[in-house]
Amino acid sequence: MKNFGTLEYVLDTYSKNWTWKLTGSRAIGMVARVIPQAWYGDGPDEAIVPDTEQNVQKIKWILDRYPLEIKSKSIWHRKIRHVVIPKKKWTRIEKLRRANPGKQFRGTLMDFQREGLDFLIKSYGNALLADEMGLGKTVQTLAYLASEKRTFPALIVAPLVTLNNWQREIEKFLKKKSRNGRIVEDWYPSSVLIRTGRCQDLGKYDFYIINYDLLHKRLDDLSKLNIRTIVCDEVQHLRSKSTKKYEAVKKLATLESIKYRIGLSGTPIYNRGSEIWPIVDILRPGLLGTFDEFCQYFCYVNEKGKAVVLENKRASLGEELRKHVMLRRKKSDVLKELKEKVRYKEFIDSDINYYYGELDKIWKKLEEEQKIATTAFDKFSSYKRAIQSERQAAGFAKAPHVIEFVKNIMEIEESVVVFCHHKAIHELLHRSLAEYSPSSIIGGQTDKDRQQNIDRFQNGETKLMVAGLRAGNVGINLSRARYVIFAELDWSPAIHRQGEDRLHRIGQKNTVFAYYLIGNGTLDDHVANVLVDKSYEIDAIMDDKIETFENKEKAELILAQIHDKIATRR
């Protein structure tokens, strides 16, 4: 790779101190922005940087982006010793075999799921199971709990909408074990759903099942139960170390009684690669060093102050995870009979007059709120409300064309899932597509209503499902459909992938087509570009390769079929 200049340890003639001298116009430009203590040397393409620990760290960030010829190698390597990843406490997980589950397990595992069981056994139950969605991470985990000695009682921490599903899966796949170790074939382990934040005795059960948001309120009660295993489903909920849910899980994970810590997620990284550190710190503390050490070695800080994994470090971070803590299989690797998934961006018309009229109202209101805001928090909150309002305006502006697009696909007699973000858009779509008697998943539903709507769709009683992006993207199976339409876009690629994989999973016999409907002239275009940029970082770490966002040929064949139906109908 071409060098952009040099780095040398020199005695500065001006300050009479040992300093770092950098050359090369691009590197000097970076120095001017990130190291305010630096000064020019003998020319404009030469910078002198004081030799401090903080400056050495910043020079290293520059080196990761602008390869420089290091002329004082021994001194440089001595100076940066503290930023390398500490010696690991964990051994490499060996080649996987097909393990057989213990007698307490009820059912049959597929070959790749038996390898997943072997992975959990060889990692001593302290691991991240990061298979793509729809590959049975729940059943692999239950098989492990049935195979390892003394795993009960177990605590399952999961999103609210998946709690009932966990209870059903426990009853389906596990047999009861009595106190004397005898297996009771026709019964299953005891479990309790924790639904309230009020402190009270929880009683004795094999499984305690609770959602993330309640966990910190019941921390004292749970700490008294002598729990042996903690399973964090959709473990991306712990991606921020500043949240109450993270703090609660961290405290529980360090209890002396806890021997097994398992994280489950097909999308453990939502937005930035640095989100993996808090998760690994719970499952295998010390593997990636402290957060500061991790950031110094793998990351740079972007203009928003967020730690982003350097492009040239993404593959090595992924390798580090796969060696010691993470099992990641893609559906294309283990389910040869499962057809591929195709993503396509479809640009559709928008009511631009309406959109810009709404924008004018939104930004005028923002200006008024900013003037009367008395704190930085008030200003930030008003700005966030404006962005949210703009996203909803974009949804309404393209809604008539989204509805037309959905109707055209329904004309070719296929089952369809439509995802949207705002409740107002959800209600509009549901009302405008009432002729198809759609099922509905939306926040605030009871568990019973939610399941009834899923069953209606999966049983073929309706061919249309309208679902909230965040209410309907986890814990459900919608494999009856082969078309998924995103009527609105989310900022996180993981949200969309979870939505896609409600369809693209075990039991799906067709190619799944995912259409991202982008309103011309709206905020959508910017959001789509952000999604692609974030996807590159996530894919490089998780899968060591970049997925293409779209496959035009196959997707356009479907569009041609839709347009043909329109023409013949007219």
- Could you read off the pLDDT of 220-269 as tens digits, one per residue? 999 999 999 999 999 989 988 889 999 999 999 999 999 999 999 888 88
The yes-or-no verdict on residue 32 having pLDDT over 60 is yes
Domain that holds residue 74: 6-83
User: Helices 244-253 & 276-283, crossing angle to 10 degrees?
Assistant: 20
> Do both 275 and 375 map to the same domain?
no
76 and 119 belong to one structural domain:
no
Final residue of a structural domain among 334, 352, 385: 334
Q: Which of 223-237, 419-433, 474-488 has the highest mean pLDDT?
A: 223-237
Burial of 305 (0-12, 13-18, 19+ CB in 10 A): exposed
| Residue 42: pLDDT over 80 | no
Q: Do 322 and 345 share a domain, yes or no?
A: no
Residue 565 pLDDT > 70: no
101 assigned to some structural domain: no
Over residues 538-548, the pLDDT tens digits come to: 666 676 555 54
334, 356, 380: which is the final residue of a domain? 334
Model confidence over 122-164: pLDDT tens digits?
Answer: 998 899 999 887 788 999 999 999 998 899 999 999 988 788 8
Instruction: Quote the pLDDT of residue 442.
Output: 85
Q: Which amino acid is at 474?
A: V
Instruction: Say if residue 57 is in the same domain as residue 37.
Output: yes
Q: What is the DSSP string of 444-483?
A: T--HHHHHHHHHHHHTTS-SEEEEETTTSSSS---TT-SE
- 131 and 226 in a single domain? The answer is yes
Indicate if 36 and 77 belong to the same structural domain.
Answer: yes
CATH number at residue 415: 3.40.50.300
> 320 and 179, same structural domain?
yes
Q: pLDDT value at position 113?
A: 92
In terms of domains, do 405 and 437 share one?
yes
* pLDDT at position 87 over 70: no
Residues 251 and 128 placed together within one structural domain of the fold: yes
Residue 292 pLDDT greater than 50, yes or no = yes
Encode pLDDT of 178-214 as tens digits.
877 788 888 999 999 998 888 888 899 999 999 999 9
Do 62 and 118 fall into the same domain? no
CB 125 within 8 A of CB 261: yes
Total domains present in the chain: 3
Rounded average pLDDT over 394-405: 85
